[in-house]
Each structure stands twice: as structure tokens, then as C-alpha cells.
Structure 1
């Protein structure tokens, strides 16, 4: 797999999540131990729930650990230019509906459409990459092809970032 871009802030957030997950291990192991002591495991809902929590926890830890070496950590405050790249805030207008939208282009691990950021690896992100103000892009979306005009490309640095 190629390198995965991530903001400095996103990387720190994921490192903290990993530490928090690892800190939960002893409590889950204790819950499994206590549930085992209750006897028959075939009808022990507490045991099943603790094992399920352990499985989900270990899966997430494994996932994060597998991605950490692939991260290309980028400081948003050092990025600039006139083209849409990782870290750029891009304003677009739907040519048909005239609806305007703004996106902060981030990596898949710190992008969150709820706070206005999208992944550079999403269909919209890939369509915008390398483009500049005034250019038109076509995005293949579930509702069909959407044509956008890029109204602006700017770099707001970390002040434009909202991780939650």
C-alpha cells in the first residue's frame, strides 16, 4: 500500500486512540476472568459480551498498528499553493444547481464529512486534486455525474481543521 497522508493533528489523535485502547485491555481481561469464574460458559452472556468487546478492541488496535507505518504526517501550517492538494480548502459550485460547498482535503484517517473535510482518496477528493480556481471537475456520484466549478483554493492551516 502507498503512503497515507494525515495531518499532524489527526496523527496525534490516532496515537491517543491507540494508547486509550491499549489501556482498556486489563479491564476487559479482568471481565473475562470474572465471567469464567461464574461457571458454564455456554450460557454466560457476560463472558460472551466481554469476549466480543475484546475482539473488537484487538481488531481496532491491529488496524491502527498496521496503518501507523504508512502514515505520511503533514503539517497543515506549512502547506500552500494555488492547486487543490492535501490540506487545501476548496470551494466549489454545482454547475446545475448552483449549490456552493467547501471541503478541506485530508487523508482518509482524519477526514470527516460531518465537519466539512473529505478524503483526498474519495471520488470528490480525487476529482479535485491538482485542480485550481476556475477549473471544472466531474464527479461520479451515486446520483450520477455532477459537474463542479472550483471557486477558490486556499490554505487555512490548522485553524481550518476540526477533527470532531
Structure 2
């Protein structure tokens, strides 16, 4: 049974492109490497053949995992998002109560998370702590260094 996960249209497109690359480019390369190693003689003592078979197995496992993710992937219609509370794909402006620092994050699926661009996973401790909160709420989030408190300043798309 596949797990449902939510993506932006852009994130889902990127995932599909990566899967297609693995199938259309990497899979033929792996088969070719196995064929070349097989041509080198005795398979019982051919480390190159064993390595090529191992690489192919890892590639097939990655393809299978991505297909499973895609089977449960859903695109979120951003126009239907409720702006009164934090949900997946919400852009949230928060303020750290301890140091007064303000940050803006977009909550996304785990595979789309990229802290450098302000995208955090809904499965991260901060992401989980923000989900369901409204403007004016305080989110108390358990992180490895203790409990952090954030004020929710703004929610947008």
C-alpha cells in the first residue's frame, strides 16, 4: 500500500523527470556495463560483472521506490488552501520568541524540502509543529536542543 504525499505541480514534474531519466538513461547504461563485463570471460571470478549486477540492483530498487512514491503522489490545488491555518504548501512567517528572529518557510513534501530556498518538510520537527496553527498562535516545538517557541505572524500561499 502506497502512502499518499502531496506535491506542488513543479515538484511532481521534477520527480517524474528524474524517474524517466533513471529508466531511459541509467537503466540502459547498467545493462551495457553488465554486457561489457560478461564479455570479459569467466563470470565466477569477474569482479567487474558482480559490481555491474550490484549497481543494476541498486538502480532497480531506486526506480521501484520512486514509482511507489509517484503512485501515492497528489498535486495540491493551491487556490483551495485554507489561509486561516498552516497546511502543506502554506508559506508561514514565524518569529522566534527567544532571539526575535523572523523567518519565512514554505511547508512542502519531504522530497521537495530545501532549506536554502526556505522550503521545509512537513515531516520535520518544525514543519510538524507548525501544522494546524493559526496567525497569533504560538508553536512550541521539541527540537534536539530543547523546546523552541515560535509566534505565527503570517500565513500565505
Provide the TM-score with structure 2 as the length reference: 0.87
More moved, 72-81 vs 118-127: 72-81
For residues 100-156 of structure 1, give each alpha carbon's deviation from its aligned partner in whole angstroms, at most 9, with x where no partner exists.
22210111222222321111122211111121222100111111111111121111x
Q: Which residue of 2 aligns with 1:9?
A: 10
Are 2:3 and 2:69, in contact at CA under 8 Å, matched by a contact in 1? no
For residues 3-56 of structure 1, give each alpha carbon's deviation from its aligned partner in whole angstroms, at most 9, with x where no partner exists.
211111111111111111001212211110110111244554432332232122
Provide the TM-score with structure 1 as the length reference: 0.84
Identify which of 131, 154, 157 aligns with 2:156: 154
Aligned length: 155
Q: What RMSD in Å do the two structures reach over aligned CA positions? A: 1.9
User: 1:99 offset after TM fit, Å?
Assistant: 2.2
Whole-angstrom CA distance in 1 between matches of 2:68 and 2:35: 29
Whole-angstrom CA distance in 2 between matches of 1:136 and 1:66: 36
Are 2:121 and 2:127, in contact at CA under 8 Å, matched by a contact in 1? yes
- The SS at the match of 2:50 is helix
Would the alpha carbon gap of residues 116 and 48 (structure 1) be closer, same or farther in structure 2, given more than 3 Å must change?
A: farther
Would the alpha carbon gap of residues 77 and 50 (structure 1) be closer, same or farther in structure 2, given more than 3 Å must change?
A: farther
Would the alpha carbon gap of residues 148 and 30 (structure 1) be closer, same or farther in structure 2, given more than 3 Å must change?
A: same
More moved, 137-146 vs 105-114: 105-114
Are 1:5 and 1:71, in contact at CA under 8 Å, matched by a contact in 2? yes
Give 5+ residue unaligned stretches, structure 1. 156-164
Would the alpha carbon gap of residues 92 and 121 (structure 1) be closer, same or farther in structure 2, given more than 3 Å must change?
A: same
Give 5+ residue unaligned stretches, structure 2. none
Whole-angstrom CA distance in 2 between matches of 1:45 and 1:114: 41
Whole-angstrom CA distance in 1 between matches of 2:81 and 2:41: 59
The yes-or-no answer on 1:71 pairing with 2:73 is yes
